[in-house]
A and B are shown apart, each in its own frame.
Chain A
Amino acid sequence: MSKTMSKSHNVSEAESCIHGAANRSSRRSERRRADVEDPFGRALEYFSQVKAGTPVKGNDALENNLVLVERVALGRGLPPGAVATLLDFALSLRLGKKLLCSRVLKFLIPASAVPQDSVVRGVSWFCMGKMPVSAQILFLRWILTMFDLIDSKDQHYIYINDFCSLLLIITQWIFSLSPYVCHLLYLLTTKEHGKQPPLTQLLALYKVLCPEMIAISMPSKTRGGFKNHNLPWKTALAAVLKKNKTAEAPSPPLSLDIKEKASTRKRKLHHLEVPQLSCGPEIESSRGKAVHLQQLRSFAQLLQNLDNIELPAQMGSLLSSSLALHYLDCVHDESALLRLNFWLGSVLHEEFLFCSRDGNPENSTEPSQFLDMLISTQDFLQECFSSSEFFLFKFLAMWDGSLHQPQILSLLSDIPPLPVSRMKMFLFEPLQQLYFTSSVFFKCGVIECLRSMLWKWLTWHFVQTSHKELDVSLSSSRTMNLHMSEFLELVTELVQYVGRLASAGLQLENYHILLHHQTLNFYELVCDVYLKFNLPLFLLPPSGVIFPSLLATDPVTVDRLGYVIFRYRQNLMSAKEHKQQKKEPSFHISRDVFREFNLLMVAVVSCLWISKDCQVDVGTDVHKALVPLRTMLSYCKNYNLIHHPAFLNYAIEFHQKCWPEQTNVDLSSIQGKKYWYWYLEFLFSQGFDGLKDFIQNNMDHQSTPVGGH
């Protein structure tokens, strides 16, 4: 019987298809094909179209579809449309009363959201009063569980009102005999009944909403008034949500997501709580159209109301949500920013400077979370709060170098360019003391911090100068109101400072490979300052960095050094061309820079190159500080690419490939003209791109025993 039923259904569909226009029929058949591929869609269609009075018992199509939908629902959750269809199907009681309704409700697990309309429809079915009591209860419990998922996208407020009015309808329906019911309740309720938790909870809410109506005093702890019922959907819903969450790409929604309080545990001192967004005191009469930040839900709303937004009562609360941070970026009110700085400075001072630590290491998660929040905020604004700058300067003088190390170093790198004297006194001096007395990992951290700081300064500078070219009217000297000469002086000072730290640090730490790389990282930034940031500054690494890198036992270090020297050369060449073309008098590069670089180049080339006879003409007017270089050169002969300890391994491998039968490895046989180039190609094929750039670019200019390349 059931088979004929479903068949007849299909037949009628097919008939309509025949009667329809040709293109329509083709579309229909397309859809049909899709249906065949998508049984779930077909099942939903069945539920939306099934007519009232269709028999339930022995209906295989119904049973099959139910099982299918149930499996999908419990597996990955139902899409919003499906939730709407099924809810409508269940509550309309089209196919019988009790069993089907509760069965559908029980597996109604949404994948992401429940459409608001469907809930509204459901409530109207509910109010018709045809549902059995058990189904009514089940439906209400379902709403309670799904409450947070009810879709409220753009019409949040309308929805609230709609929904409230609907709930009012429910209440009215329940209390349509309200005068009598209430009277009865009034008569029956005794003191003990009045203390029932749900009633107290409701009364407490009313007391908050309209305190003038309820004068009784409430017990302070009414929590747990509503039992967190162990609702049947909870676990399934959680599983589905978790599954979907891991499946989809993590895209943090832009919303007013008030950050959760770090812990519910009551701290003795509430230094680190970011205040909640709230509007200003009513004492000050506010403008008529003012919008409160906490009312906004989306970035679009923020943009629409940007001019009417009222600042919150506590500026610190702006740090509590991402949307508020967007707004903070537009705030130009001096007082407001000062308030924020007072708040932030006071929090930092109280927590890290004044507060005597009780030596409890468990306490440190909350402070580090706060610092993380500050770091991400400053990253977002691309600026350092001046209160955090002052805090850091004070904190550095008493820092042991380990407390919240990653966070503090990260914050330090946000410090803007300041006059050299201040920078030396407040940053360089204390940091240097910590640097020399700490582990190699702290040293790496410091170098990385200073690199990141330099990178931020250079980026600011670059944006500033390019802004000036775009629009002269912009009074753009705000992130850096140092003059150009002061800025150059500061950058020079920083680079030299890092040079000193690195040379001494390398020696202290026995040329630790990590420190090597961190240092070269720094110089990879410094060597490209002219080409990348348009800053005519050429600062070479000190010998204490170059030669340890050149003679390192690790090939990657040598390779990176090659890259750094190559980039220095590109920068200098380009600056020279620029100078010759424009003939600007202000653009001046000291001859010493070129001389120093040439000397460095000669040293490195003659070291790595085969250099039978390393006769280098270093000139007679060599800078006195560079004299040690010349003595270095005499030792360099044994460090060419074949005998260099970092590449020895490769040389032997190459030798074995060339002369596999020879057991006696004679590396000097590679020095032959042909083999030498093959050997170089072999090295380049191993990924030493820095070395490749360096060698290929210098070949044309250096006299080599092997002639042109």
Chain B
Amino acid sequence: MASITPTLRPLACSKSILRRIRQQNTAVRSMMTTTYHRTGFVPPPPIPGAPHVLRKLKAIAPLPSAANKIKDPVKAFQDDQISVLDPTGARTHLFSRKNPESAKQGDILLVRLKNGDPFAGVCINIRRQGIDTGILLRNQLTRVGVEMWYKIYSPNVEGIEVVQRAGKRARRERLTYMRKPKHDRGSVQNIVLQYQRTRGPASGSTAVKVQEGLKGGRRKSKKGRK
């Protein structure tokens, strides 16, 4: 308690008195010994002389998470799609690195489409991106070099066949040097026609057919191209 001071006459108006009283009240409240707890938790009264120990906070274990189980959801999502688009696994097998009979860069491939003319060409690039794996085929149609990318898992692609294997293993992954006149294979039409003639009704050992919908693929390519 403050020492007793001599009685002071209130100054000016009651405004200043009330202001001072309000200030005193807030100061008095700050000296309160009892506290009100929102959570209802009342801490035990402090023991004089004992060191202040922080109360233990409830440690809650984390929930099981799908993110921990599946660390690469993009790959898992792609694998789900591949199982639908390539149920037999034939397309994956055709371009698998583990497959010694796989289609490689340098081979001549024929792609048959659901909507459109089939396209054949030298495979100069295989871009492996999971479901977006694509092949770049180069051909010359009436002396004009044409390169086409095809996604191997696209539903529009009916089938991919290996028309001719490269004689010698290419010494690099991307064969873009084939764009130069010195290394350009030119048109592969003759090779493709010969392959289709020799194939006949029996399935050749070199041709890897895809089982989904083989209808008139041979006949389509016999149409004259302009």
Is this pair of chains taken from one and the same complex?
no
Binding site for A on B (CB under 8 A): none
